[in-house]
Amino acid sequence: MKKALAEAEAAFEKGEIPVGAVIVIDNKIIARAHNLTELLNDVTAHAEMQAITAASHFLGGKYLHQCTLYVTLEPCQMCAGALYWSQISHIVYGASDPQRGCINLNTKLHPKTTIKGGILAEEASDLMKRFFVEKRNLN
């Protein structure tokens, strides 16, 4: 999760909403990503989506069996849908997103996917809060 937080910091520095993600298989990071929605002018360029694409390219296939996604914020419905189709084995997230997160919206994940939240949640949440405070003060 610390590597995902480093990715979130990179997003913060670029003026992106600070969400970072890494995908791991056999204790090896195979994908690193952060939000790029502003830079790419693409609403689908969430950290998770970027990481899924990178991991799929690394593995040479569309399924992420035996992989774990570490992401600093609970995935949204769009990302949860993509994670469903990737058949990722595990999702570990930091801060909860009660308004847009997949848990409260009852988004289905693949039946074999496990999900666990609250890992380094305070650090992830603090980074998000700092981002939005700075953003509001600039406007």
- What tens digit of pLDDT does each residue of 58-107 get? 999 999 999 999 999 999 999 999 999 999 999 999 999 999 999 989 99
> Is 76 annotated as belonging to a binding site?
yes
Biggest alpha carbon distance in the chain? Answer: 44
Query: What pLDDT is recorded for position 139?
Result: 57
Mean pLDDT (the chain, rounded): 96
CATH class of the domain whose range is 1-116: alpha beta
Q: What is the pLDDT of residues 24-61, one digit of tens each?
A: 999 999 999 999 999 999 999 999 999 999 999 999 99
Integer CA distances (angstroms), 65 to 55, 73, 114, in order: 11, 22, 12
More confident residue, 4 or 138: 4
* Residue 118: CB atoms within 10 Å: 13
Quick check: is 48 catalytic?
yes
The helix/strand/coil state of 48 is: helix
Q: Rounded distance, CA 63 to CA 45, Å? A: 19
Length of the chain: 139
pTM (global) more than 0.85: yes
Q: Rounded distance, CA 121 to CA 45, Å? A: 22
Average pLDDT over residues 9-33: 97
Q: Rounded distance, CA 132 to CA 139, Å? A: 11
Catalytic one of 48, 74, 122, 134: 48
Per-domain residue ranges of the chain? 1-116
Query: What pLDDT is recorded for position 134?
Result: 86
Query: What pLDDT is recorded for position 136?
Result: 82
